[in-house]
Amino acid sequence: MKFRKVAIMALTAILALSLSAAAEAAPVSFKLGHSVSDQHPYHLGAEKFKEIVEKESGGEIEIALFPNNQLGTGERDLLEGLQLGTVDIYIGSTGPMGGFERKFMLFDFPFLFKDKDHAYSVLDGEIGQYVMGLLDKIGITGLSWYENGFRHFTNSRRAVNVPEDAKGLKLRTMENKIHMALWRVMDADPTPMAFGELFTALQQGTVDGQENPIPIIYTHKLNEVQKHLALTGHVFSPAMLAASKAKFDALSEDHKEVFKKAAHESALFQRAQITRMEDEQVAQLKELGMEVTEPDVSLFREATKSVYDQYRGELGEDAKLLEQILSGN
């Protein structure tokens, strides 16, 4: 009887240890959401981030990917999800960020960056790190700068070669007052709308056109409802890989380092993918029947200069950063 009692106690202890070990071994799960298709460079970056994190953590962290607004109705909704805890990791443009932290408006000004190398040097330098650090106070941890590319302009009504050609066109924009202002100064009618509503709105003629980087136009097949593409490159659109601050802060120091490494390496990968895809996709859009024009960008730059005067003051003392970027220093 005594032997049986000891055996039961031993089995109970072994079972308890097994359950404890299983609990300790259970991976930490993160939900990563973005608003675009699984063919877009955002998703390619997300896959690379997932691959590195899961490998470097030895399977102690799992990343589940949710493209196409599965975790929210748009980028603003996903960002709010980071704060509420319904989204753990976000990839998306900085366009909606001015509504959370107005100094993110710094990157929304038209024709701010000369080219991609200029943009990368700013984002990866002191200015980019300073702006990303501002997220902490709103419950978000910035991990790295991805990119969305230069934004271009499509519509269903006419070719656009000069700013005057935009007059009267009703255009979908993000809910971003600088983006809206740059179209107003060209006498267009900017209409903020969630991205998930865009294709139907273009199809039904609710809006005449929209503006987005080439990979968005191509992967979401906007050529099916838009005839004209003007390569205006009016705004360079940075993108963020960011996490819920609460979820990130709960990680061990080792796991935080894994996240940082994966964020850096996946950003380099994602940027390379988007650059590779842009030229290929412009050619493919032409083959699919889009009429592509390459306007004199200097005319659009001149036409939108007044936007700087309208919104520079909202940056406060950080308006000096705007001048620093424009000067290339």
Quick: pLDDT tens for 120-170: 999 999 999 999 999 999 999 999 999 999 999 999 999 999 999 999 999
Distance CA 160, CA 155 (A): 9
> Which of 160, 195, 196 lies closest to 176, judged by CA?
195
User: Residue 14: phi, psi to the nearest 5?
Assistant: -60, -45
3-state secondary structure of 253: helix
pLDDT(22) > 50: no
Predicted pLDDT at 99: 86
> Which of 53, 119, 64 lies closest to 88, judged by CA?
64
pLDDT(10) > 70: no
Q: What's 22's DSSP letter?
A: H
Cβ–Cβ < 8 Å for 235, 151: yes
The least confident of 20-29, 60-69, 117-126, 235-244 is: 20-29
Predicted pLDDT at 329: 63
Q: Tokens 């031993």 identify what position? A: 10
Predicted pLDDT at 17: 46
Residue 263's identity, in one-letter code, is: A
pLDDT(204) > 80: yes
3-state secondary structure of 172: strand
To the nearest 10 degrees (0 to 180), the angle between helices 319-327 and 126-133 is 150
The neighbouring-strand residues paired with 33 are: 66, 90
Percentage of the chain exceeding pLDDT 90: 87
The mean pLDDT value for 182-190 works out to: 98
Cβ–Cβ < 8 Å for 78, 100: no
Strand 140-155 with 228-230, pairing: antiparallel
The pLDDT-based confidence of 21 (bands split at 50, 70, 90) is very low
Extract the tokens encoding 1: 């009887």
Distance CA 213, CA 221 (A): 13
The pLDDT-based confidence of 18 (bands split at 50, 70, 90) is very low
pLDDT(46) > 90: yes
Distance CA 5, CA 102 (A): 68
Superfamily name and number for 27-327: Bacterial extracellular solute-binding protein, family 7 (3.40.190.170)
3-state secondary structure of 329: coil
CB atoms within 10 A of CB 131: 25
The neighbouring-strand residues paired with 243 are: 89, 141
Residue 71's identity, in one-letter code, is: L
**HEC sequence for 93-139:** ECHHHHHCCHHHHHHHCCCCCCCHHHHHHHHCCHHHHHHHHHHHHHC
Spans of all domains in the chain: 27-327
* pLDDT tens sequence across 283-329: 999 999 999 999 999 999 999 999 999 999 999 999 999 999 999 86
The pLDDT-based confidence of 24 (bands split at 50, 70, 90) is low
Distance CA 50, CA 56 (A): 10
The pLDDT-based confidence of 197 (bands split at 50, 70, 90) is very high
pLDDT(222) > 80: yes
pLDDT, averaged across the chain = 93
Find the distance separating the first CA and the last CA of the chain, reported in whole Å.
84
Cβ–Cβ < 8 Å for 215, 277: yes
The pLDDT-based confidence of 95 (bands split at 50, 70, 90) is confident
Percentage of the chain exceeding pLDDT 70: 92
Predicted pLDDT at 25: 63
The mean pLDDT value for 14-34 works out to: 69
Predicted pLDDT at 12: 53
Extract the tokens encoding 322: 């705007």
